[in-house]
Amino acid sequence: GEYGAGHLAGARHIPLGDLKARMSELERYRERLVLVHCASGSRSQVAAKTLKDAGFKEVFNLQGGMGAWTQAGMPTEK
């Protein structure tokens, strides 16, 4: 539901519980900047650590999540 309500442009929806099983979908981003987000920033913090532990080079968590992003008037897509 969160993803459908609005997300960052170009975001790929991978729930935290599915991340390890779907890690191969992200292989082409291993050397690129990856920004992880969720509604509040807490689950995405865990996801960011999982990606870093798997060897992804530049992983960042959107502090405050989509709540903070939309509150700041930043753009989203549905």
List residues bridging with 33 in a β-sheet.
Answer: 58
One-letter amino acid of 36: V
Would you give per-residue pLDDT tens digits along the chain (78 residues)?
Answer: 889 999 999 999 999 999 999 999 999 999 999 999 999 999 999 999 999 999 999 999 999 999 999 999 999 999
According to the model, what pLDDT value does residue 62 have? 97
* Best CA proximity match to 39, nearest among 74, 9, 69, 77: 69
Radius of gyration of the chain (CA): 12
